Amino acid sequence: MDNGEMHTYVGMSVRMRDGEMLLDQSVYIMNMAESVSPEAKKTITEKDLLLLTEKDVDPSLQKEQQRNVRALGWVVRTQPSLSFLFSHLSCSNTHPSPVSVLATEKALWHAKVTAKPLKLKKILDQEEEGDLERVSEDNTVVWASKKCTRKLGSTTTAELFAMRDGVKLSFSVFNLIKKLWEVFPKVLVVSDSQPLMNQLASRQCKSEPHQQAELEYVLQELADLGATVKWVPTGQQRADRQTKFLKV
């Protein structure tokens, strides 16, 4: 790949400019959205995402449901904000209904309306990394969600487990940056859970002592990353888009 020219690979164009790279699926998304029904060319809402009952299921729609979800799954590669829609709609792949198929079509139309290139750019101002007000979706390289199958006694423990998984995932990106540019990147971990912040500060799980080992593991890994932990208001917690439908 030479600098400056645009190349296309499986529906994705890659454009490199001075100091930045754009990963663009706009052509793929436009073509994908052309197949949706006129009824689907409307704003998707939380009502479209309600769970179905068994009486609504129509097995004959399975192929259509899976085709739409598969298309949405490829779009998610450059559209972090669609991650929850893809995850949620995938749950109906084996028991689709007219409502769930319409929801997948609305999701594809939503992707067309909201899509923008994923931008990877050079950070010139090192202070920008720690200033959440100035951080956009640029340079988003990994995003994921994970369903917890354990029964937990509090939401604080759920937040602790989420931080544990996020910190574990951070090491792959941290090590990649270190190898590519021979620098130690600054790591900022954010949480909107004040009780969890209190546990990290006190280094104790007083309400659920049996989770003490998990807390100590998180503290150990944060130290190895040299990470700073910061509390943010719920409205600024961008990880919420992995578990909720947030309009762009």
pLDDT tens for each residue of 137-178: 677 777 777 777 888 889 999 999 999 999 999 999 899 888
Summarize pLDDT for 25-47 with one digit per residue, the tens.
999 999 989 989 999 999 998 88
Which sequence spans correspond to the domains of the chain?
5-114, 126-243
pLDDT, position 129: 53
Q: What is the pLDDT of residues 194-217, one digit of tens each?
A: 999 999 999 999 889 999 999 999
Q: What percent of the chain has pLDDT over 70?
A: 86
Residue 16: the pLDDT is 84
Assign domain 126-243 to a CATH class: alpha beta
Find, among 162, 178, 169, 144, the residue nearest to 211 by Cα. Answer: 162
